[in-house]
Amino acid sequence: MEKKILVCAYYAKNIGDDLFLKILFDRYTNVQWDLLTANRNYKHIFKDYKNVNIIYTYRDISFGSKRYNLFFKINDLFLKYKKYDSLINIGGSIFMQSPAWKMKLNERDYLVNHFRRMNKKTFVLGANFGPYKDDIFVEKYHSLFKKYDDICFRDLYSYNLFKDLDNVRLAPDIVFSLNDKRNKKKEKCAGFSIIDIEKREGLKEYKAHYNKKIVHLIQEYVDQGYEIKLFSFCENEGDLEAIKIIADKISDRNIDNVKIINYQGNIDKFLDEFYSCEIIVGTRFHSVILALLNDQGVFPIIYSDKTYNVLKDLDMEGNSNYIKDLDGLDIKNAVAASKHHKIKNKNILLEAEKQFEKLDLFLEKIN
């Protein structure tokens, strides 16, 4: 009998989070996946997966002066989530202390409580924890995490915050387990993953330094004979707009060597472009992970501690730079470092499979 699982994730056409979903669906082909989103993009992104559905009722409706989520209300009154065998929360930075964190916490608590009452398994896969501003946030999530059957973090820092819980584990980022056998012939090309600094808390003041250094790095790579690709991992978060601003600052003599790649939901097409680069100058977290996975040279530009924490776990925190320290970056040293900065421990590819260890056991048991 085919099993049905409800999936909570970050549904914003972000290539990193979409890769999590792709890996999940490819690993368990005999499971019916219901995505807790009404975002129709996801029907298109996973159109080749006949076992993937989006939930069109996951939207708010007005009833008098009050608003209700239709999907939750239907299940509260009639369906009671009985058609699902399990609940999965999968994603990277899904536990950040945003202004609306209490609302998200309440939704997660509501779902996990319903599944617990029915003795159905609940999982958190692939996440890191934070950033957060106060201990109350940690305490509230500590209480919530107790209710899950299995939580697997992707970095030691997050694991250490909750290691007193018996259901908490540690394994490398899920994308390290991407099983991709396509032809990955590399060209003399340097790829840049760009983000919108202005939208990142505490980084807005470094925007000018960031843009200036990226332009100088591009110029140096072009002078060394490289073609350039600028990658937008998530247009919704401003990557593409940030790229356009940087592209306008590139000199006329260099702009012909520059190509812009915007992720629009076609995972394979985006990866083909990304894998063709010899070197990645990566700001996005998963630009660094993909480069390490694909044995590309990489120079990480760190905008969040989640990147530093993973590099530290891999003993690779050297030859990287925090955005706030970019003003002092030596361009030629960075370019030289990028050509040799590659993953040392290949066992991490097998270790990443452990993210699914408990889910493997559960699905094997119920099949």
**What are the pLDDT digits (tens) for 47-69?**
999 999 999 999 888 777 788 88
Residue 36 has pLDDT above 70, yes or no: yes
CATH number at residue 292: 3.40.50.2000
The CA distances from residue 146 to 92, 113, 123, 259, in Å, are 19, 11, 11, 47
Average pLDDT rounded to a whole number, residues 340-348: 77
91 & 199 share domain: no
17 & 89 share domain: yes
* pTM of the entire predicted model: 0.95
- Alpha helices (runs of H) in 229-356, residue ranges in sequence order: 239-247, 252-255, 267-275, 285-293, 305-313, 331-338, 348-351
Rg of the Cα trace of the chain?
21
According to the model, what pLDDT value does residue 357 have? 97
Three-state DSSP at 79 gives: helix
According to the model, what pLDDT value does residue 1 have? 55
| Residue 41, domain member (yes or no) | yes
Of 117, 145, 170, the one marking the end of a domain is 170
Three-state DSSP at 231 gives: strand
Angle (nearest 5°) at CA 278 between 277 and 281? 80
Of 170, 204, 234, the one marking the end of a domain is 170
Average pLDDT rounded to a whole number, residues 6-12: 97
From 112, 105, 46, 107, select the one nearest 84 (Cα to Cα).
112
Give 364's pLDDT tier (boundaries 50, 70, 90): confident
Q: Which amino acid is at 250?
A: I
41 & 153 share domain: yes
Residue with token string 């094997």? 364
Q: State how far the Cα of 138 lies from the Cα of 11, in Å rounded to an integer.
A: 24
Write out pLDDT tens, residues 247-289.
999 998 889 999 999 999 999 999 999 999 999 999 999 999 9
According to the model, what pLDDT value does residue 103 have? 94
160 & 212 share domain: no
According to the model, what pLDDT value does residue 200 have? 86
Q: List the beta bridge partners of residue 12.
A: none
Q: Which amino acid is at 142?
A: H
Q: Cβ of 63: how many Cβ atoms within 10 Å?
A: 8
Average pLDDT rounded to a whole number, residues 153-178: 97
According to the model, what pLDDT value does residue 322 have? 94
**Comparing 35-49, 135-149, 302-316, which segment has the lowest mean pLDDT?**
302-316
Average pLDDT rounded to a whole number, residues 113-133: 96
**Comparing 145-159, 279-293, 302-316, 335-349, which segment has the lowest mean pLDDT?**
335-349
Six token digits for residue 57: 């009722």
Average pLDDT rounded to a whole number, residues 325-341: 89
146 & 239 share domain: no
Residue 26 has pLDDT above 70, yes or no: yes
Q: Which amino acid is at 302?
A: I
DSSP code at position 87: E
Of 170, 204, 228, the one marking the end of a domain is 170
Contact in structure between 222 and 254 (CB atoms under 8 Å): yes
Contact in structure between 318 and 344 (CB atoms under 8 Å): no
329 & 268 share domain: yes
According to the model, what pLDDT value does residue 367 have? 56
Residue 366 has pLDDT above 70, yes or no: no
Count up the domains in the chain and report the number: 2
Helix, strand, coil shares of the chain as percentages rounded to 5?
45, 20, 35
Q: State how far the Cα of 275 lies from the Cα of 256, in Å rounded to an integer.
A: 21
Domain that holds residue 25: 3-170
According to the model, what pLDDT value does residue 317 have? 81
Residue with token string 């925007």? 207
99 & 200 share domain: no
Residue 22 has pLDDT above 80, yes or no: yes
- Average pLDDT score over the chain: 93
Average pLDDT rounded to a whole number, residues 21-42: 96
